Amino acid sequence: MNIFKSNYKISAALIALIVLFVGFLASIIVWLSSNEPNGKIASISGSLAAGLFVAIIQFIISWRDYKQTEKLSELKLIEILYRRNDSEFYAKYMKEATKEIKIMGVTATRFFNDFADNTPNADDKAKTLFGILDKGVNVKMLLPQKKYLDSNKQSDLEIVIKKVQSIKGVRRNLELRFFDHIPSHSIFSVDDTCIVGPVFPLLESKNTPALHLRNNSPIAKEYIKYFDEEWEKATE
């Protein structure tokens, strides 16, 4: 192998650590080889060695913290949501949409109760879905087939289906499809960000945690890919 044609990458952090370590070893050697243990040179080199040793320890700790922070940064995490019951947050989140919203859940009952009330006395938040659709944003919803839900949730799903049908009579950019398995993931994607989390059989989704991520996150990419694959297989 021709070493003159070989390329190696060395980080500035590693170079700094090597410099500190070499300085520490040089100070130890000078201190140990001094003819006057209590002399000025021995005192200076000993103090320098102690200082460099502390600097090396602090550098290693800081480097470890930096690497952990870098890993979190790679996840493109915006925030951790400990609950999903803040309707004000979701209303604001949806109103930022300009292209597409993707929703995958269990029955979407809470979604339609909170954001799809078009009665005269409904407030702005309750009409959020209609405002989004009127802007031309496409809304895709994926829910499980009725056979995978208990009797109570089956009734909820039937109500949601009727609401969707009534909305689609006026606004065609709302689509609802059904996947053929037990619900296990909750996905709420708005343009380039998403909120994802698990679905627990005996626990309401609003009381479970979720991750708010950018869609180019390695985690979010898998969720969005999963949604798109399920969408293609789902029935209308």
Q: What is the pLDDT of residues 209-220, one digit of tens each?
A: 888 999 998 889
Pairing of the two strands 193-198 and 185-190? antiparallel
Could you tell me if 93 and 205 lie in one domain?
yes
Could you tell me if 41 and 154 lie in one domain?
no
pLDDT of residue 147: 92
pLDDT at 66 over 60: yes
- Selected residue with higher pLDDT from 108 and 38: 108
Q: Going along the chain, which residue ranges are E strands? A: 77-81, 100-104, 138-144, 174-179, 185-190, 193-198, 210-214
Average predicted confidence (pLDDT) for the chain = 82
Could you tell me if 53 and 105 lie in one domain?
no
Structure tokens at 146: 């009725």
Query: Got the DSSP string for 91-108?
Result: HHHHHT-SSEEEEE-S--
Could you tell me if 89 and 188 lie in one domain?
yes
Q: Which of 165, 162, 202 is nearest to 182 (CA)?
A: 202
User: Which residue segment(s) compose the domain that 200 sits in?
Assistant: 78-233
In a domain, 208, yes or no: yes
In a domain, 22, yes or no: yes
How far is 171 from 149, CA to CA, in rounded Å? 28
In a domain, 137, yes or no: yes
Question: How many independent structural domains does the chain possess?
Answer: 2
Could you tell me if 105 and 66 lie in one domain?
no
pTM tops 0.85: no
pLDDT of residue 152: 84
- Selected residue with higher pLDDT from 149 and 66: 149
Q: What is the mean pLDDT of residues 145-151?
A: 89
Could you tell me if 62 and 106 lie in one domain?
no
In a domain, 148, yes or no: yes
In a domain, 43, yes or no: yes
pLDDT at 230 over 80: yes
CATH number, domain with residue 170: 3.30.870.10
Could you tell me if 120 and 182 lie in one domain?
yes
Could you tell me if 109 and 223 lie in one domain?
yes
Could you tell me if 69 and 82 lie in one domain?
no
pLDDT at 54 over 60: yes
In a domain, 141, yes or no: yes
Percent of the chain's residues with pLDDT above 90: 31
pLDDT of residue 70: 63
How far is 81 from 236, CA to CA, in rounded Å? 31
Could you tell me if 84 and 44 lie in one domain?
no
**How confident is residue 24, by pLDDT bands cut at 50, 70 and 90?**
low
Q: What is the mean pLDDT of residues 38-65?
A: 69
In a domain, 146, yes or no: yes
pLDDT of residue 227: 94
Which residues have a Cβ under 8 Å from the Cβ of 76 and sit 6 or more positions away?
Answer: 213, 214, 216, 217, 220
pLDDT at 185 over 50: yes
Q: What is the pLDDT of residues 79-94, one digit of tens each?
A: 888 888 888 999 999 9
In a domain, 20, yes or no: yes
